[in-house]
Amino acid sequence: MTGQAQIHYGRIAQAIEFIRSNFKHQPSLDDVAAAVNLSPYHFQRLFSEWAGVSPKKFIQYISLEYAKGLLKEEHSTLLDVAHKTGFSSASRLHDLFVNIERMTPGEFKNGGELLIIKYCFAESPFGQIIVASTPKGICHISFEENKKHALNKLKKIFPNASYQQVIDKFQQDALFIFQKDWSRLDEIKLHICSTPFQLKVWESLLKIPEGKLTTYGSIAKSIGNSKASRAVGTAIGNNPIAFLIPCHRVIQSTGDLGGYRWGTTRKSAIIGWEASRVGK
């Protein structure tokens, strides 16, 4: 991530954290701009360029009432919502066909001893990411600002694999999710280690439409185990593919955002960013 882009995301993240703490008071443009030490004019321009909407509109998207409103609209099951809304428009993330292939026990058991993993670092609207792939597909996407720490975390997952810092077609297809030209996307292939239960949960996440939210309980019902909300939460927390498997679209039944592996401020940012595009 370039220095300037990193500064911009830092300011936006700081602004979103301020909004999350003060949304009940509906802070003004001047209030939020002052919190990030920018003039209202400069902040308005920077934020609008980043999010595609004004700060005022963005506040509405990530407020508690917005989350509750989305949940009230989803009276049917998660699968019903997916059938009604998903896989119909070439311009939305949830329309992508994502093919998940589970790693064999042998591929994972020995720390990826037989795997060749290629990786690269890239910028996203939500900070720097590391993207890694095997010859079968994407095995890891994570928001990480420190490249050295990011690579060390990846190597802890697959300590015996061979690593090459190079971008391949799998990674390019995955990175296109942050761009507006969705026509350039091919089928996205994932190659991940999971239990059958985790796979069910992650496949359910892929059916949540962009700009919509659901709850842990709804996910549990959608996979046929309504009492497994806690286990669902654990599986979501272990999601190895940031953003593409959209665990950020799952919140608590109270309307609170809940936790997020890559930080609640980033979760708020992603929810608002997606909603601003659906709302255009």
Contact 170, 139 (CB under 8 A): no
Neighbours of 82 (CB within 10 A): 19
Q: Where are the alpha helices (DSSP H) in 188-247?
A: 196-205, 216-222, 229-237
Residues 6+ apart with CB under 8 A from 138: 131, 132, 170, 171, 174, 188, 189, 190, 191, 192, 241, 244
User: At residue 192, what are phi and psi to the nearest 5 degrees?
Assistant: -130, 155
Q: Is 247 a catalytic residue?
A: yes
Long-range contacts made by residues 194-203, C-beta under 8 angstroms, separation at least 24? 194/100, 194/102, 194/103, 197/223, 197/231, 197/235, 198/235, 198/238, 199/100, 199/102, 201/232, 201/235, 201/236, 202/100, 202/235, 202/239, 202/241, 202/245, 203/100
Residue in 120, 139, 193, 247 annotated catalytic: 247
Q: Which residues are catalytic?
A: 247
